[in-house]
A and B are shown apart, each in its own frame.
Chain A
């Protein structure tokens, strides 16, 4: 929180506590744009989701439109926009693939944005296709559970690897892994 900013309403340089102007009490916009910064969270790939949820709820309890039912229309507008911004940022950070994209963006790593990101690695292609056909032929609930756990483990080890790559700033490697990650996440989601 910056102690000194100009309030959009009273135009005074003022202290802002909990996003409230200490001169006129009006709600202030969130200045940060990066989801990590919105939640004041360290830019690591692996996050403590309980911690994140707590921060999310704290922000929503400040900005949610329910808290501005009696406020003037300017503040109502700010509340809707900022509450939506918090929801969006939370969704991004909760999603492995989106979160990695934000991190790579932040470190200035240029990502080839072509959808599909064709497989450079034929082994990976085969691995994914194997897994997909395995999922198609599931017959028993036990089998499904087994595959589910398998995928969970795979995603877990991928997460650790990506975290390591990000720390060591080998971004191209992290991006390569993100292809596998997004396929695994998709298979996991489709597995119902």
Chain B
């Protein structure tokens, strides 16, 4: 037998680089692990803390490139907060531009990508992106879509406190049970983690997706500035309010260092002065800080953990610089408090460490949970939980549904997220419609629905009609836009095969546009059958098929051409739909028409 030479594995393998992106409410940070250390990406102003702010002028100006003194009233700030309400709801910007939070943030991610390229002299697409642990499915997938649209290949979405704990565990060698208290500009997260050798396990997580430093600033504006000057909030112009909020933030920051000082501000064109006392500031902020403390206590209860099992607190997020927080935590829990790693940079730091391990392999295991229960609406408007909060992810649960009327051929299921019993008090994620069931007596059809939360915490739903075996993959969509799954495919395929000099970004845009159009055509199948000529129907499906094939390749010109062809041929059909809708109105009272 001859000796076989076996090379040491990984020896000559090149190291894959992966960006860690902390997309924050106030500031964002990008970093990357390189040769055993984490480097933070600097912008052209040599700053690593990038204000999450955009200015839509002739060109889009972002971050530290904005002249805030001149333009503050026209800037878009804290866009991350808008993801909580609805990531796809259009907002009107100062120059009458209409954009959704997803679209605005896409521009921000494009800036981060360019900034990274300038700094590293290398185009990086792979990234680990962080999100607040307490963000729901909609907000989470919305942020992910923004990054994907900007051409980032999001290899994993991780929770901000988890990322911070990972950095503390790996680089500060922390071991034991810790509560990560993460107060950012817009969100509060608290997570209980166990850090062991090679194991980083989230036991439970809680928080408030609408509580952060911005709310502190708002309270200082209302309870200190406006009260002192006896001015009503509604008497101040929106632009002025934006400036005043920034002043309130400065007052908050200064009061952490200085006991008494005078601040001067301009309100409605008049110069005013107010006296600030740090005790007064603490008094104003106390209520919000107490709220975070009680959320923390509740989390301990939920996890059935006693405070004496906890080794300490890890402070994360710029807003933890408010000293009242440390004071209150010490008073209430009497535990050590750690903040060795910069609270503004630690989340990105942890994300880049995790990104490196994902792409290059590691013995470390990071286990996270889902922050909110997932369920469906049952009769009577109640929510039935299917996946309880703090379940380890990934998780898959199945439930069988049936009809309640004879001959019913479809079932509609509302998917919800939250902890409340009444379904309308929870977040409505979307509807799942199971159609094409064979008409049968009530209660006979059996449709098995599978809810699956992947390791990114993103939800996928699929359904199988048990009698026919028909499978429907029903990704719950937040609106008209593509799902995370569809977008991920587009980005992966575009980057995978892209030639060095090719503009991946515009290719991705073309592909997104094409996929949207195909989805529209698929959704309108019945209308097309009814309204178009046989010749047109054939043409529409031919082009759709060709387009589907092209999407697997990377020929932007070909994709654009086919999209144009498809648009052209469906244009007449769109007109027909309008006509048909109009016909539906004919003969009805004008009142009814107006109500519609």
Give the interface of A toward B (CB within 8 A).
57, 60-61, 64-67, 69-70, 80-81, 83-85, 87-88, 90-91, 192
User: Using Cβ atoms and an 8 Å threshold, which residues of chain B touch A69?
Assistant: 155-156, 358-359
> A66-B357, A69-B155, A69-B156 known; 9 other A-B pairs, CB under 8 Å?
A57-B199, A60-B365, A64-B365, A80-B454, A81-B396, A84-B396, A84-B452, A88-B396, A91-B392
Q: Out of B396, B452, B455, which one reaches A64, CB within 8 Å? A: B455
User: Using Cβ atoms and an 8 Å threshold, which residues of chain A touch B455?
Assistant: 64-66, 80, 83
User: Using Cβ atoms and an 8 Å threshold, which residues of chain B touch A80?
Assistant: 394, 396, 452, 454-455
**A66 contacts B156, CB within 8 Å?**
yes
**B365 contacts A57, CB within 8 Å?**
yes
Q: 7 tightest A-B contacts by CB?
A: A65-B455, A84-B396, A87-B392, A69-B358, A192-B301, A84-B394, A61-B365
Does B367 sit at the interface, judged by CB under 8 A? yes
Q: Out of B358, B392, B395, which one reaches A66, CB within 8 Å? A: B358
**A65 contacts B301, CB within 8 Å?**
no
Does B483 sit at the interface, judged by CB under 8 A? no
User: Using Cβ atoms and an 8 Å threshold, which residues of chain A touch B392?
Assistant: 87, 90-91
What residue in chain A is nearest B355 (Cβ atoms)? Answer: A69
| 22 pairs, CB–CB < 8 Å, chain A vs chain B | A57-B199, A57-B365, A60-B365, A61-B365, A64-B365, A65-B454, A66-B365, A66-B455, A69-B156, A69-B358, A80-B394, A80-B452, A84-B394, A84-B395, A84-B452, A87-B392, A87-B393, A87-B394, A88-B395, A90-B392, A91-B392, A192-B298
Within 8 A of A (CB), among B329-377: 357-359, 361, 363, 365-367
What size tier do the contact residues of chain B reach? Answer: 20 to 34
User: Using Cβ atoms and an 8 Å threshold, which residues of chain B touch A61?
Assistant: 198, 363, 365
With A84-B395, A87-B391, A192-B301 as contacts: A66 and B359 at CB distance below 8 Å: no
- Cα–Cα, bound, A60→B199 (Å): 11
- Cα–Cα, bound, A149→B394 (Å): 34
Give the interface of B toward A (CB within 8 A).
155-156, 198-199, 298, 301, 357-359, 361, 363, 365-367, 391-397, 452, 454-455
CB distance from B184 to the nearest CB of A (A): 25
- Cα–Cα, bound, A100→B358 (Å): 38
Q: Which has the most chain A C-beta neighbours within 10 Å: B155, B358, B366? A: B358
User: Using Cβ atoms and an 8 Å threshold, which residues of chain B touch A81?
Assistant: 396
User: Using Cβ atoms and an 8 Å threshold, which residues of chain A touch B454?
Assistant: 65, 80
CB distance from A30 to the nearest CB of B (A): 13
- Cα–Cα, bound, A91→B155 (Å): 27
What residue in chain A is nearest B453 (Cβ atoms)? Answer: A84
**B358 contacts A91, CB within 8 Å?**
no
Q: Out of B155, B357, B366, B394, which one reaches A83, CB within 8 Å? A: B394
- Cα–Cα, bound, A88→B398 (Å): 12
**B359 contacts A70, CB within 8 Å?**
yes
Q: Out of A60, A67, A70, A84, which one reaches B367, CB within 8 Å? A: A60
User: Using Cβ atoms and an 8 Å threshold, which residues of chain A touch B199?
Assistant: 57
Q: Which has the most chain A C-beta neighbours within 10 Å: B199, B357, B394? A: B394
- Cα–Cα, bound, A65→B396 (Å): 14
- Cα–Cα, bound, A88→B397 (Å): 9
- Cα–Cα, bound, A82→B393 (Å): 11
- Cα–Cα, bound, A61→B363 (Å): 8
- Cα–Cα, bound, A118→B455 (Å): 40
CB distance from B162 to the nearest CB of A (A): 12
What residue in chain B is nearest A58 (Cβ atoms)? Answer: B365
CB distance from B182 to the nearest CB of A (A): 21
CB distance from A126 to the nearest CB of B (A): 28
- Cα–Cα, bound, A1→B198 (Å): 25
User: Using Cβ atoms and an 8 Å threshold, which residues of chain B touch A88?
Assistant: 395-397
With A66-B366, A80-B454 as contacts: A91 and B394 at CB distance below 8 Å: no
